[in-house]
Structure 1
Amino acid sequence: MIRRALAVLLAALVLTAGAAQAAQAAGYRYWSFWDRDGDSWSYATLGPSLSRPDDGDVQGFRFAVSEDSKDATRPRGAAEFSVICARTPARDGKKRVALVLDFGTAADAPSGERPPARRTVCARVDPDATTADALAAVAGPLRYDSNALLCAIDGYPRKGCGEQVAQGEKPAGTGSTAATEPDDDPEGGASVGLVAGVAAVVVLASAAVWQARRRRG
């Protein structure tokens, strides 16, 4: 009975350690790409080199640390085509695409770099131009990696491309829900619930060992 209780305790500790390791899952520092749909942003389903926006579309880019598309941080500020392209008149044989470029916060910036201020630009390009073409026309230089991943807009950041960032290093307030949901783990360690679970397992296993000894006695 004692051996069985100890085996249960050991298994529980192994599972708990695995859960703690999962809680430390890494995020990534990268440029996310968004489509404007009415008054809200939706994560783009195509990359900028494949997306072909229509005349009058609004698209956005945001540099931040995110775990995945569900956690990605949206571009900030107003994003109205009529405002962004007000000083770029329409022209025959061309289309206009409004772009929101949000370089993120200092907390999301790579070490030693400072993000430029958020800005909006209007690209007037050929009708068959992709988002990447529009971006290159108004926000170069761009930088891509060998897999065609967008690494830098207007030269920011100077280096790095989608690098992994440990969960404990992720700045507070970078997630899309960070403004409304408190950080359960501000120090990047195991959560309170996880610690409580470990304590409960230890108590139950200890009780089982004590009960077994009592019966044998």
Structure 2
Amino acid sequence: MTGPSTKLKDGDVEGWTFTASSNDIPATAPMMDPDFASLCGDVSQVAGKIRVGLVVDFGGAEIAPEGETPKEFFSDCVVVAEGSTGLDVLSSALEVRSDKSGLICGIAGYPAQECGVEITMPSVNASPIAASATNESPMNSSNSLALGALAFIALVVAIVALRRRSK
């Protein structure tokens, strides 16, 4: 798996997504299936630089923070110095907000303030709880993960998927 510190090469496609998942519900795939040719096909190579397709999926309204509306899907061809990382590519095109630990909290002002909040995820197991079951809530801590961690995991999955598609 790769992440924001991975050094990219000319022809890569870097994908970022705002999503949520749990042990039961996988992260959603990006809403667009980009490829390098469609993003950077008309951009010429430059000595000492690399061309990277960049896509950012701001997610659906169902996981948007209260009072916020997801931004439109972003895609572009970014030209950066050789040796640049995924975070370098993203930062060269859009504003990135992170916390002290380096967790990416927002891209292009979305979400406006929150960072890694826990959300309640519905369970895919809709079977009723038996009468002899304990008093434990069906949404225990193993099913409820921090949104920031989920977004990072989804990001890594999206990057891997996009790289596999671009090859």
Length-normalised TM-score, structure 1? 0.56
Q: Deviations over 1:103-136 (max 9, x none)?
A: 0011110001000111211110000111111111
Q: Secondary structure at the match of 1:165?
A: coil
Answer 1 or 2: which has greater helix percent. 1
Q: 2:120 is aligned with what amino acid?
A: A
The Cα of 1:162 is off from its aligned counterpart by 1.5
CA distance in 2, matches of 1:137, 1:95: 13
The Cα of 1:198 is off from its aligned counterpart by 2.8
Map of 1:198 onto structure 2? 131
Instruction: Kindly indicate whether residue 99 of structure 2 is the aligned counterpart of residue 145 of structure 1.
Output: yes
Q: Deviations over 1:119-170 (max 9, x none)?
A: 211110000111111111112x1100111011111111101111111235x9
Residue pair 2:18, 2:57 contacting (<8 A) in 1 also: yes
Q: Please list, as runs of the form range in 1=range in 2, the aligned pairs for 1:118-137 lying within 5 A after superposition.
A: 118-137=73-92
The Cα of 1:76 is off from its aligned counterpart by 1.9
The Cα of 1:61 is off from its aligned counterpart by 0.9
Residue pair 1:151, 1:157 contacting (<8 A) in 2 also: yes
Map of 1:47 onto structure 2? 3
Residue pair 1:100, 1:121 contacting (<8 A) in 2 also: yes
Residue pair 1:84, 1:121 contacting (<8 A) in 2 also: yes
Question: Relative contact order (alpha carbons < 8 A, sep ≥ 6): 1 or 2 greater?
Answer: 2
**Count of aligned pairs between the two proteins:** 132
Residue pair 2:21, 2:121 contacting (<8 A) in 1 also: no
Match of 1:89 among 39, 44, 55: 44
Q: Secondary structure at the match of 2:61?
A: coil
Q: 2:2 is aligned with what amino acid?
A: L
Answer 1 or 2: which has greater strand percent. 1
Map of 1:5 onto structure 2? none
Q: Secondary structure at the match of 2:90?
A: helix
CA distance in 2, matches of 1:80, 1:73: 18
Map of 2:136 onto structure 1? none
Q: Which stretches of structure 1, 4 residues or more, deviate above 6 A after TM superposition? A: none
Map of 2:108 onto structure 1? 154
Length-normalised TM-score, structure 2? 0.71
Gaps of 5+ in 1: 1-44, 171-182, 186-190, 201-217
Task: Supply the RMSD in Å over aligned alpha carbons.
Answer: 2.1
